[in-house]
Chain A
Amino acid sequence: MSETLPVTGTMRLIARHAASAVWLARYMERIDNLARLLDVTKTFSHDDSDWLTILRINGDAIDFLKRYPHVSYDNVTRFYLLDADNSSSVQAAIAAAKENARTLRALISTEMWLQINVFHSRIRALTGSDLAPDRMSGVCAMLKEGAQAHVGISEGTFYRDQCWHFTMIGRYLERADQTTRLLDTRFNLLVPLPGAGDPDVDAGKWHALLRAAGGYHAYRREYPHGYRPVEVAGFLVANTAFPRSVALNLSQIEWHLTQLRTRYHLRGGARALERVDNLCATLTHEAVADLVARGLSPFLDWVQREIGALHADVIEGLCGG
C-alpha cells in the first residue's frame, strides 16, 4: 500500500469501537492458539505434567487448582474447552469475541458476523463426549479452522479503513503475546542441564514446542541440522518471516500504527509507536543469542510486560481508555 493513495475511509471511528476491534481479534486469535496448544500437548504428552505446562503458559494453574482436584488430561481439557467460568477457556473467548463483534456489527462485514455467529453456536454445542481422546484432534481442528476462517473472511471482505487496522493490531498483539508465553514456559525446561537428558526425548520436546507455535516445518527449512536452543529462541523471537515470531508481529503492529498516524492523522498512537519501535530494535538474533547465554526468562518476562504495555498504550491513546 503506497503513501500516495488518497485517504479512504473518511468515516470517523468511535473510540470504543476501536477497542472492540482490538479485542475481537485478540479473542479469535486466542482460540487458535489454545487449540494448537491442546492439540500438540495431547499428541506429544508423556504424562500429566505436560498438562500442567499448558496451565502455566496461560497463567491459569492457581485458578485451575481452586476448582479441579488434580491436573489430568480430562480436567485440563474440560477446563479449557467446556468451562465457561474459566475466563481463558474457548467458551469464554468465543462469548467475548461475539460480544465485541456484536458491538462492531455495523462495521464488520456480514460474512464475518455470520461466521462468528455460527462458530459461536458450534463451540457452545461442545459436550463432555467431545473430550474423548479419539475426538480431541477433531475438536482442535474445528477450533483452528474456525479461527482461521475468521482471519480469511476478514482478509477478503473487511473494508480496510481504521477499524481494520485496529483488528490487525489486536491479532498481532495476541500472537506476539502467545509466542512469548509459549517460549517462556518451555524454554528452561528444554535447555539440557550439563551431563543430563536423553537427546531423543529432548528432540521430541523441541519438536512439540515448534509444533505448538505452528513453526516446525519453517524451522526445519531455516535450520535443517537439528535443534540448538539459541536458534529455536531466535526463530520464535527474532525471525522476520515466521508468522508467529514476536518480531514479525511487532513490526506489523508498527506498520498499522504508522498507517493510523499518517493516513488518519491519529495523534494518540505516539506512545505505542515509540514503544513498539524500541521493542523491535531490541529483538534481534544477536540480542537473543546473548540473552540465551545469560538466561532468557527475565528477558521474555520483560517482552511480555512490554506487549501488555503496548496494548494499554493503544487502548489509552487511541481507544478512549
Chain B
Amino acid sequence: MTQTAFAQSQRQTQASAAETACLLQNYDPNGFFCETLRLGQPQHPGLELLRSRLAQFPIDSLRRRAVDAERDLLERGITFTVYSDATAIDRILPFDLIPRVITAPEWRQIETGVIQRVRALNMFLHDIYHDRKILADGIVPRALVLGNGAYCETMVGFNVPFNTYVHICGTDIVRDETGRFMVLEDNARTPSGVSYVVENRHMTQRVLSDLMTGLQVRGVDEYGLHLHKALVDISPQAVQDPQVVLLSPGIFNSAYFEHVFLAREMGVPLVEGQDLVVENHRVFMRTTAGLAPVHTIYRRLNDDALDPDVFRPDSVLGVRGLIEAWRRGNVAIANAVGTGVADDKAVYAYMPRIIRYYLAEDPILPNVETHICGEPDALSYTLDHLAELVVKPVAESGGYGLIIGPHATRAQLDEFRARLLADPANYISQPTLKLSVSPTLTDDGVAPRHIDLRPFAVTGRDTWVLPGGLTRVALRAGTLVVNSSQGGGTKDTWVLA
C-alpha cells in the first residue's frame, strides 16, 4: 500500500469508529456450522475475543479496508493471469478479510490426519509401482489403478528416496453441519495455493492487524524453509551442497506468481525447460558461468510435459532426457511422476481402506461417503438419488463438469443422467454436503458463505504440515463451489496456538 493510501485508511478507521452498523449484527448462519460462532460448542477464549471484536467492528471500516486490500493485491501483482484474445489480464483472487479460525485441538486432528493420509498415499504409490500387494489382496480393483490415465508405466520398479512420491500434498477438507472434518479430495500432483496462504497473512497484518492483537496465531512464514529442506533431503546422496531449482512452465502460466513466490522463499533459481539441459544423464542449468549442475527439481509442470523422450513428444516446456537422468539417480524430482493415480477421484473412495490396509489404523480424517458409479450398485443408487447427490467426473479438476443435484433443473438432471449412463466409470457421487460457513463481507453486509480448507503437507524424510492452509470461500450466495475458476475467493486461516 502507498503511504497516502495507508494514511487515508487510518483516517477513515478513526472517522468511522462512531458508526454503528457492526459486522455480526444481522448475521445468521442458517443452520450451517459457522466457524466463527460455533453454536453449541465449548467456548474458546481466543474465538471469544475475535467474536467480540468482530461484533464491535464497523462494517464501513471493513469495506474501506477491503478496497485497500484489493488495490494492494493488484499493485503487488499477487495475481493469476487469464488470457482472452491474446491479451494477458492480471486478476486477483478475491480476498475476504474476515479470517477463518481453527482451534489448537482441531488443528491437531487435521495435522495428524493429513500426515497419516500422506503416509498412506506414499505407501500406496510404492506398492502399486512395485509388488502390487493391495491389488493382489483385492482391496483396490486392479483395473482402477492399472487402467488409470495417470498410472505411469515408467515408474514400475523405480525407487525414490524415503519412498516419498508425494512431496507436496494439498488435502481438501470440509466440515459438515455438525462440525465434523472430512477429506473431500487429495491433491498429490502439483497442488497450488500455498503462496496465497502466506500472502493472505501478510495482507491481514497490513490492513487488519488490530483484529489479531493479543491472539496467539501460528505463523506461516516457514513454508519455504521446510520445502527447501525436503528438497535437499531427497537430492542425490553424494552431493554436498545440492542445487535445487523450481521448474515453471513460464511467465504465461496462470500460477506463475506462486512459482515466483516459492523460488524466492527458497532462494533458488526459477527456471524454465529451456534453461535446463541433460548431458551424460546429468541435469545442468544454463547460467552466466556456463552449465551448472542441478540436483533437485521442484517441478510445476504436469507429468506429460516433463520430458518429450518419455511423455508427450510435442511438449516444449520440459527437458529432453530428464526422466532417464532421474532413473539413474542423478537428479531428484518432486513430486514424483505418476502420483496422479493416488489422487484420482475414484481411488479416493478407497482411501479409508487404503489407510487401514497399510497402517492398520482408522482414518483420523474420514472421507465423504462416496459411490463409485463404475460399480453397478453404486450406479443404480446414484441414478435413483440424482436430485440429492453431487456427481463428479473423476478425471477433471477445478469444479468443472460436476452436477449438484439439489441445485440442478429437471432438464439439467436429465441431460446429466444420459452423460452418466454413457460412461459410468467416469463418475463418482457423494451426498450434497452442508458445508460449514464463515462470516464473509458481501454487498448485502456480512453473510454466511461456504468454505473449505486445503492444508499443505511437505514430505522429504518426514512430513511437516503448514499450520493452517488455504481457506477458499464460495463468494456467491448459496453456492458450494469454492474453486478460483468458479468465482471463489480466499480467507486468511488462523490456527490458534
Residues of A within 8 A of B (CB): 11-18, 99, 102-103, 105-106, 110, 113-114, 117-118, 162, 166, 260, 264-268, 318-320
Cβ contacts under 8 Å, B44 to chain A: none
Binary flags per residue of B248-262, CB closer than 8 Å to A gives 1, else 0: 000100001001100
Q: Chain B residue with minimal CB distance to A10? A: B241
Cβ contacts under 8 Å, B288 to chain A: 12-15, 18, 162, 166, 260, 264, 266, 268, 318-320
Q: Are B77 and A117 in contact (CB under 8 A)?
A: yes
Interface residues of B in 258-291 (CB under 8 A from A): 259-260, 263-264, 267-272, 274-275, 285-290
Please classify the interface of chain B as helix (H, G, I), strand (E, B), loop, or mixed, using the class held by over half of its residues.
mixed
Cβ contacts under 8 Å, A265 to chain B: 289
Q: How far is the CB of A75 from chain B (nearest CB, A)?
A: 26
Cβ contacts under 8 Å, B268 to chain A: 11
* Among A11, A106, A319, contact of B260 (Cβ-Cβ < 8 Å): A106
Q: Are B289 and A264 in contact (CB under 8 A)?
A: yes
Complex CA gap A117/B286 in Å reads 28
Chain A CB within 8 A of B410 CB: no
Q: Are B260 and A110 in contact (CB under 8 A)?
A: no
Complex CA gap A15/B275 in Å reads 8
Given A14-B287, A106-B260, 17 extra CB contacts under 8 A: A12-B289, A12-B292, A13-B269, A14-B275, A15-B286, A15-B288, A17-B269, A105-B260, A106-B263, A106-B264, A114-B75, A117-B76, A117-B77, A268-B289, A268-B290, A318-B288, A320-B286
Interface residues in B, total, Cβ within 8 A: 25
Q: How far is the CB of A261 from chain B (nearest CB, A)?
A: 11
Known contacts A102-B256, A113-B77, A117-B76; is-contact A12 B287 (Cβ 8 Å): yes
Q: Chain A residue with minimal CB distance to B72? A: A114
Complex CA gap A18/B269 in Å reads 12
Tally the A-B contacts, defined by beta carbons under 8 Å. 70
Q: How far is the CB of A161 from chain B (nearest CB, A)?
A: 11
Q: Chain A residue with minimal CB distance to B292? A: A12
Q: How far is the CB of B88 from chain A (nearest CB, A)?
A: 9
- Name 14 interchain pairs, CB-CB below 8 A, sorted by A: A11-B268, A14-B269, A15-B275, A15-B288, A18-B288, A99-B251, A102-B256, A105-B77, A106-B269, A106-B270, A260-B288, A264-B288, A268-B289, A320-B286
Q: How far is the CB of A153 from chain B (nearest CB, A)?
A: 13
Q: How far is the CB of B397 from chain A (nearest CB, A)?
A: 26
Q: Are A114 and B77 in contact (CB under 8 A)?
A: yes
Q: Are A16 and B251 in contact (CB under 8 A)?
A: no
Q: Chain A residue with minimal CB distance to B275? A: A14
Q: Which of B275, B285, B288: most chain A Cβ within 10 A? A: B288
Q: How far is the CB of B18 from chain A (nearest CB, A)?
A: 34
* Among B256, B260, B285, contact of A14 (Cβ-Cβ < 8 Å): B285
Cβ contacts under 8 Å, A16 to chain B: 272, 274-275, 286
Complex CA gap A102/B88 in Å reads 12
Q: Are B75 and A118 in contact (CB under 8 A)?
A: yes
Complex CA gap A166/B289 in Å reads 13
Q: Which of B77, B259, B263, B287: most chain A Cβ within 10 A? A: B287
8 closest cross-chain pairs (CB), A and B: A106-B263, A105-B260, A12-B287, A106-B270, A106-B264, A106-B260, A15-B286, A102-B251
Q: Which of A12, A17, A113, A267: most chain B Cβ within 10 A? A: A12
Cβ contacts under 8 Å, A15 to chain B: 275, 286-288
